[in-house]
Amino acid sequence: MVEKERTEGERTASNRDVVIVGGGASGLSAAVFLARYGLDTLVFDGGTAAIRQCVHLENYLGFPGGIPPETFLAMSREQAELAGAEITDGMVVAAEKTDDGFRVTTQDGREIEPNRLVAASVYDDEYLSDFETELESVERDGKTPVSGLYVTGWLGEAEHQAIVSAGDGARTALALVRDVRREDEELWDEAAEHYYDWTVEEGRYSGTNWEWLDDLIAEHAPESATPEDKKRMKERLKREYTSLEMDDTERVKRAERGRNLVRKHMEEIEP
């Protein structure tokens, strides 16, 4: 996190890659994907999460007996933090566009200046008043006419169900990541689009001869691309694909960590 002193008062403004307003299913799901890509992601969780109106969440895949909403949120917060996101309490009361991105102001006077802003708050959305007209034209992946502003969950077109909101948060995050990739001078647009987030067994990509990658580059490379450009692109994409591989030792370690975290949260549920 980069901080710079303000000349007035003792408040500081913090630069972030992304600020997410809302710590419900869609906001935390977006945080997981954005942080996993390596973006400096800050989540403000100070409003009213709609999921708390539910007494017992029973239609979320993976929890056959259902789960209390507070336990679900606690587990989701922990997963986002493990991915690298920072989550803080705080109510966002204002957001404005700047030359470099946005300026977000909280109720307690903090100012954050992210490059991109994700609105994931079902309620408490008064901070978006400057963008009221633009929010009438939101794309299916959460992108708005305002460069760098995205909405997800119920603020977009998602059905008001936790699992749908979580999926919508992931989709919005992937749209944001692809926009970041389009700004990468090392990637042309088609290569920037070619991104997804998963893990594969060791050797899944590195054990290939990469002919399929040569074909992909040949098909989508711009006419101006030189042989050196194509070679550089191939090495870049090879690094991205091989980074998805996971050996058995790491897989077992992560699986055990996951079981322990789920067990801890399940044991904390009051009957």
Q: Is the pLDDT of residue 152 over 70?
A: yes
Residue ranges of alpha helices (H) inside the chain are 25-36, 69-83, 162-182, 189-193, 211-220, 227-242, 248-267
Q: Name the pTM for this structure.
A: 0.91
Residue 241 identity (one-letter amino acid): Y
pLDDT at 5: 39
Instruction: Provide the pLDDT confidence category of residue 13 given band limits of 50, 70 and 90.
Output: low
pLDDT band at 266 (very low <50, low <70, confident <90, very high): confident
| Cβ count near 146 (within 10 Å) | 18
Fill in the amino acid letter for 55. V
**Cβ(105)–Cβ(117) below 8 Å:** no
Does residue 245 surpass a pLDDT of 70?
yes
Confidence check: pLDDT of 43 > 60: yes
Q: Residues 190-211: what's their mean pLDDT?
A: 91
Transcribe 8-57 into DSSP letters: SSS-EEEEEEEEEE--SHHHHHHHHHHHHTT--EEEE--S--GGGG-SSB
| pLDDT of 3 above 70 | no
Query: Which one-letter amino acid corresponds to residue 61?
Result: L
Task: Copy the structure tokens of residue 244.
Answer: 């998805």
Share of the chain above pLDDT 70, in %: 95
- Whole-number average pLDDT of the chain: 89
| pLDDT score, position 220 | 86
Residue type, 147: S
Question: For the segment 210-236, what is each residue's pLDDT rounded down to a tens digit?
Answer: 999 999 898 888 888 899 999 999 999
Identify whether the C-beta of residue 125 lies closer than 8 Å to the C-beta of residue 155.
yes
Tell me if 170 sits within 8 A of 33, measured CB to CB.
yes
